[in-house]
Amino acid sequence: MRPTRGRCEIIADVTNSIRTLFADRGPTAIASVVVLITVLAVAFVAIWWRVPDMLYPPGPDKSSSMSSPEYQASRISATASTRSALLLGLAGIAAIGTLLVNLRNTRVAVATLQVANENAQVAIRNVQIAERGHFTDRFAKAVEQLGGTSIIISLGGVYSLQQLMREGSAPGDPKVIASVICAFIRVKSPTIGSTPEKDRKHEVGAALQVLCSTQLEERLTGLDLSRSRLRGHTIWGDNLRNAQFDYSDLSGSFLQGVDLTGAAFAGTNLSNTILVGATLNRATFSLVVQNPDIHRNKPVPKDLIITAKMDDALMSGASLSEARLHDVDFSRTIGLTQEQVDQAVGNGGTLLPPGIKRPAWWPQQGLADWH
């Protein structure tokens, strides 16, 4: 046993523990701790020195059996063992104190981490708010540019909106921006109600290509391009599924290989349009205008049946699976095959090119016969 070394280690542990516990406290608290440590140290020394003598007293005189060498040797050994036990007890108390201090420090560290995490969350929210505000400012500026009188300014607005569509700082942003671009096309190049603005073909074409070809994580669908003059444009891209082209003018346009699944073409002028290889599955080419005077199983007035105009449309290789061709005149289309027609859904009012037979499963009546 080496009591001197053990005593130093104990004192060092206690001192470090108390220093950690009372770190960053005022001078008064530190002075109180020093006094307390001094009192405890004096008390421990007194106990450490006096208790063994009280437990194992020396013999009263030399004639007593307690004064024999054997007794004195046993007494010295017991005294040393007792003092060692007291030192070990003090070491245990110091260890418990150290554990409590470490527990307190752990709690402080956890609280500090929580505060730091909350501060980080606040900082992230502030950054997001700032980014959102910047995005909104850019969006407002781009929309303002769309209304500019200069072609260059308008094109700048179109391509600024394209960049914002790609960034999309919040879910749904690309759809909102796309709806604005669709509105720009309908206003700048209408087919009904007003005369298209002069020299707007470049802007409308650029806006159309931004809508159709911009690559996004989630493909755009259901673009509203109805009542728009899109004559002679080359259109390509992956964002035209379920697009609305009702009452639009697509005559002479180039739509080769475009995915137009579910698109609506009621009242659309598709004369001389190139639809080679286009996907027109489930597309609709006609509609019946809603009218309260029309009753079920009664003839429909022809002026309420709106169909696409297909004169000289080139449809070689176009997919028409489940496309609705009711009452549409395909008699002057080019490249339409029996296989394409067999995949589509028509009726007795559907007119087909020479040599193409109406599928037997199509209804014999047209929309004008029965509703």
- Taking residues 116-143, report their average pLDDT: 88
Residue type for 348, please?
Answer: G
**Residue 149: what pLDDT?**
79
Tokens of 338: 């029996």
pLDDT level of residue 1 (50, 70, 90 thresholds): very low
> Which of 14-18, 125-129, 237-241 is least confident?
14-18
Give percent of the chain above pLDDT 90: 23
**Residue 371: what pLDDT?**
45
Residue pLDDT, tens place only, 9-21: 655 665 666 566 5
Long-range contacts from 168-174, C-beta under 8 angstroms, 24+ separation: 168/216, 169/131, 169/132, 169/135, 170/132, 173/135, 174/216, 174/218, 174/220
pLDDT level of residue 197 (50, 70, 90 thresholds): low
Query: Which residues are 103's β-sheet partners?
Result: none
Distance CA 364, CA 119 (A): 73
pLDDT level of residue 129 (50, 70, 90 thresholds): confident
What is the value of pTM for the model shown? 0.65
pLDDT level of residue 268 (50, 70, 90 thresholds): very high
User: CB-hemisphere CA count at 13 Å for 20?
Assistant: 17
Every domain of the chain and the residues it spans: 3-106, 129-218, 221-371
* DSSP secondary structure letters along 264-286: B-TT-B-TT-B-TT-B-TT-B-E
Distance CA 144, CA 221 (A): 25
For 221-371, CATH gives 2.160.20
Name which of 145, 165, 172, 168 is nearest 157 in CA terms. Answer: 145
> Which of 9-13, 54-58, 165-169 is least confident?
9-13
Whether 58 shows a pLDDT value over 70: the answer reads no
Compute the mean pLDDT over every residue in the chain, rounded to the nearest whole number.
79
**Residue 368: what pLDDT?**
58
